[in-house]
Structure 1
Amino acid sequence: MAVNLSVPDPKDLHPVAGVKLGIAMAGVRKANRRDLTVVTLDEGSQVAGVFTRNRFCAAPVQLCRQHLGTNVGPRAILINTGNANAGTGEDGLVRAFSTCVALARHLEISPEQVLPFSTGVIMETLPNDRIEAGLPAALADLKADNWAAAAEAIMTTDTLPKAVSRRVEVGGKTVTITGISKGAGMIRPNMATMLGFVATDAVIAPALMQSLVREAADSSFNRISIDGDTSTNDSFLLIATSQAGHDPVTRLDTADGSALRDALIDVSQRLAQAIVRDGEGATKFITVRVDGGKSEAECRQVAYAIAHSPLVKTAFFASDPNLGRILAAVGYAGIDDLDQTGIDLFLDDVHVATEGGRHPGYREEDGQRVMKQSEITVRVDLNRGSMSTTVWTCDLSVDYVKINADYRS
């Protein structure tokens, strides 16, 4: 059951000029479920992406990187769920490319203009014949307002679809940003299996696209952890169709550039947080904030150590204020010169630890009161500098084990 997350209202998801989405039932893994999504992009659209750092990356990730590296502009995105096409060797690459060829023929574009994505079970042969047979139905379903259906069609173990939309003023014009994501397990930073797609009609200078998608990912999808596993298929795309009608954004240190960047990061963060809220078996949404570091990097080390810890996460599931587990995670985070007597630990407004030990005013019933909440903030002050960072995680429940034990059945 997702933590304070609801199904997005299709009326709240604004169409993005230049983008259409179509959904079909291809029977990739199970019959009678929407598992195939085609996204078409008008000519002149730009796409930039970041991908998993798992060295055992999936065939579609490899192909997508190659296709983005060509000089032809992407015109279509092809997404299947139910089969990750990872751990499938050369055969997986051949099958993934064949789906690109098939869609390209329908759209009269080149195969390199198709970006493929897969999510689902690893090390199983991609049923590319089923995907190719499902393309006509997906193309017949193409609509600009199909974001909600697409968010549902890319789900695997997700319990709810994830979609966010907002509008912002840029250059005197209204710019639309709409995105979808999927993910509930096998999630951790380094491209936290997850997929994310954010589209905007903003006019963005080509030189800014890669830095924008990287910054958006580093501020959102690379700050979440559910179980500490980095997937083989993680991918995040930023699409800009250039149809909003304003002058191109060529710098981010201007009012227009800052407004656009902030809006893109906001949409990405809300999508990333939705993944954590829908974490497999999650009952708590936990914000981990680390202040007072010498660098942002060491703050991240501490935050991730807490967010990844099974002992910390199971304590939150049990609402058990066994908070020494958090201090232990801070201690093994890898900061060799960390002075434990300088650490302050807070649960929401409760001051738990100071000067290397229990705060004199801390009472266990106060800690338990916070631990019983569905949303909790853990704050650690290292008191050794001025830098800070925030990551988001969830608890680890009995249902997480059950979901993953039954995943292939």
Structure 2
Amino acid sequence: MTSAKPTNPWLILLGLALGVSISNAFGRFAYGLILPSMKSSLGWNLTQSGWLNTSNSIGYIVGSILTLFLIRRNSPSRIFAIGTIATAVCLLMTGFDENLLFQTACRFLVGLFGALSFVAGGVLAASLFQSSARKNALAIALYFGGGGGFGIALCGATLPTMLDVFGPQSWDWAWIGVGIAALVICPFSVWASTMLTETKHDAALPSIPPVRRMLGEVGGYALFGLGYIVYVTFISVWMKEQHFSVLLTTSTWMVLGFSIMASPFVWRGVLARFASGTPLALILTGVAIGSALPILVPNGYGLILSALVFGLSVFMPPTAVTSFVRQNVDQQDWGATVSFFTVMFAVSQALGPIGAGIIGDITGEIGDSLIVASAVLLVGALCAMMQKPLKLGMV
């Protein structure tokens, strides 16, 4: 595990958080922005479009399982560095060939290496400020939300305009640009991970988390994976079908990104106060409302409000789960337990995009999938609300 008392912890946290820009913002969210152009240029239907993000999620499953075993035999810093660099390279490669098999392979590898980076970085971030519950909760929240929000805002500010100016056939250059941006960030993120000192950790097989006592949290997190990914994958496709302007698309994604950046400050008090499933339940309710708003209020105001509410919540479930683990599980088991949660999340996340695509192809309206996703998220919130603390005397 990690024992970190760095002299510049906030700078290190910034480097780790920018790794999330690569693994999640560029690796997962950017696809939703580039997809309308790929779908139009390559003639894909909604099921094919969803399949590519499902392949990304399958890669995430494999990466999460790998991390579950690697985290005990290798330092989180090394896993984070390898995952971050490899994700950036695979993003760059995505722009080199339009073949569906090649695209599937790239999305799979981005998911696999992104999981290594994301989970290991979360363990590193959780090791900061261990003497202060509020600072630790804020550090975890900033790791998941700060870098991811920055990356999404950057993509939202550039990709829609670029694809509108140069046409949908320029989707390959969009991926190349995303890959280059990721490679520029890599040195700082890798440096940050190397600044955290490592203590010896047990090389035995990972311990088995107390799953029976965590069913509420596990169920809520799994249903989060199933539901949130529908909005991420298809909201830009839905906007294009509704003939919304490029300016509105750009504004929506920038509001989404900046809201994600602000979300740690909105939720830090809740995360520090509760050791139960309450934070995850409240957060999932926000994600559910944000997912449904574009359909319930199908105009520009509804979209901006949707991006605001969704953004203030969507990057916080991993934060809530990591905070729950930190408060309820012994430190030597943090990595294995976070990896277990990530595997459950990844399995459910893999079903979301292709399931939503099938629903959209059957009904002829991808908006129906957004409503179904919102309902799934509300069920997840109910599951999380039932989760009690694992240690006596905690709230």
**TM-score band, normalised by the shorter chain?**
under 0.3
- The structure richer in helix per residue is 2
Which has the larger Rg?
1
Q: 1 or 2 for the larger relative contact order (CA 8 Å, sep ≥6)?
A: 2
- The structure richer in strand per residue is 1
